[in-house]
A and B are shown apart, each in its own frame.
Chain A
Amino acid sequence: MNIEVLIGAGVLAATLRLATPIALAALGGVVTERSGVTNIALEGCMLMGAFFAIFAADKTGSLPVAILVGLIAGVALAGLHALASITFRADQIVSGMALNILALGLTSYLDYELYGTTGTPASLPGVPTVDLGFLSAIPVLGGAFGHQSSILWVTFLLVIVLELFLFRTVPGLRLRAVGEHPRAAETVGIDVRRTRYWAVLASGALAALGGVYLSMAVAGSFTDGMTNGKGFIGLAAMIFGRWKPVGALIASLIFGYGDALSVSLQGVSIADVRIPVQLLSTIPYVLTILAVAGFVGRSRAPAADGLPYESEGH
Chain B
Amino acid sequence: MPVISVLVALFIGAIFVLISGHNPIRAYAALILGAFGSPYDISETLVIAVPLTLAGLSVAVAFRTGLFNIGAQGQLLVGALAAGWTGSQFPDLPGIVLLPLTLISGVLGGAGYGAIAGWLKATRGVNEVITTIMQNYIVVFVMHWLLQDGPMTAPNAAGTPASSPIGAGAILPVIIPNELVPLSRLHAGIVLAVLAVILFWFLLWRTSLGYELRAVGLGALAAAQAGIDPKRRMVLVMAIAGGFAGLAGMIQVSGLFHRVFDGFSAGFGFDAIAVALLGKNSPIGITLAAILFAAFARGGTLMQANAGISSHLVEVIEALVLFVIAAETIVRAIAGRRGPAQALA
Contact = CB atoms under 8 A, between A and B. Distances in A.
Verify that A and B bind, or say they do not. yes
Nearest to B314: A105
Given A84-B323, A289-B126, A293-B126, 7 more contacts: A88-B327, A90-B326, A98-B320, A98-B322, A278-B148, A292-B124, A308-B344
B340 interface: yes
A104 B126 CA distance: 28
A278 B142 contact: yes
21 contacts: A84-B330, A87-B340, A89-B340, A91-B326, A95-B326, A102-B320, A109-B312, A112-B312, A224-B312, A235-B130, A239-B130, A274-B149, A278-B141, A278-B150, A281-B144, A282-B137, A285-B137, A289-B120, A289-B135, A292-B124, A310-B341
A293 to B, nearest CB: 4
A286 interface: yes
A99 B319 contact: yes
B297 to A, nearest CB: 12
A98 B315 contact: no
Interface of A: 40, 80, 83-84, 87-91, 93-95, 97-102, 104-106, 108-110, 112-113, 224, 229, 232-233, 235-236, 239, 274, 276, 278-279, 281-282, 284-286, 288-289, 292-294, 301, 308, 310, 314
A98 B315 CA distance: 10
Given A40-B133, A91-B326, A97-B270, A314 B341 contact: yes
A288 B134 contact: yes
Given A89-B329, A288-B130, A314-B341, A278 B144 contact: yes
B323 A294 contact: no
A279 B149 contact: no
Contact of B130 (A88, A106, A233, A292): A292
Contacts of A292: 124, 126-127, 130-131
A110 B316 CA distance: 11
Contact of A80 (B131, B135, B323, B340): B323
Contact of A279 (B141, B310, B333): B141
Contact of A97 (B131, B273, B317): B273
A90 B327 contact: yes
Interface residues of B, number: 51
A20 B105 CA distance: 41
Given A105-B313, A109-B315, A288-B130, A93 B70 contact: yes
B160 interface: no
Contacts, number: 147
Given A278-B144, A292-B127, A310-B341, A285 B138 contact: yes
A293 B125 CA distance: 7
A229 B137 contact: yes
B201 interface: no
B133 A232 contact: yes
Contacts of A112: 304, 310, 312
B178 interface: no
Contacts of A91: 326
Contacts of B319: 98-102, 104-106
A58 B275 CA distance: 38
A94 B273 contact: yes
A313 B34 CA distance: 53
A104 B266 CA distance: 14
A258 B240 CA distance: 34
A94 B141 contact: no
A112 B70 CA distance: 29
A279 B314 CA distance: 34
Contact of A102 (B131, B323, B327, B340): B323
A276 B344 contact: no
B277 interface: yes
Contacts of B343: 89
Contacts of B323: 80, 84, 95, 98-99, 102
B129 interface: yes
A188 B336 CA distance: 33
Contacts of B129: 40, 93
B341 A108 contact: no
A101 B341 CA distance: 28
Given A102-B323, A282-B142, A109 B310 contact: yes
B90 interface: no
A95 B130 contact: no
Contacts of A93: 68, 70, 129
Nearest to B332: A88
B174 to A, nearest CB: 31
Contact of B131 (A229, A278, A289, A308): A289
B311 to A, nearest CB: 8
Contacts of A301: 127
Nearest to B320: A102
B344 A105 contact: no
A235 B127 CA distance: 13
Given A94-B325, A276-B150, A293 B120 contact: yes
Contacts of A239: 130
A109 B141 CA distance: 28
A294 B127 CA distance: 12
A115 to B, nearest CB: 11
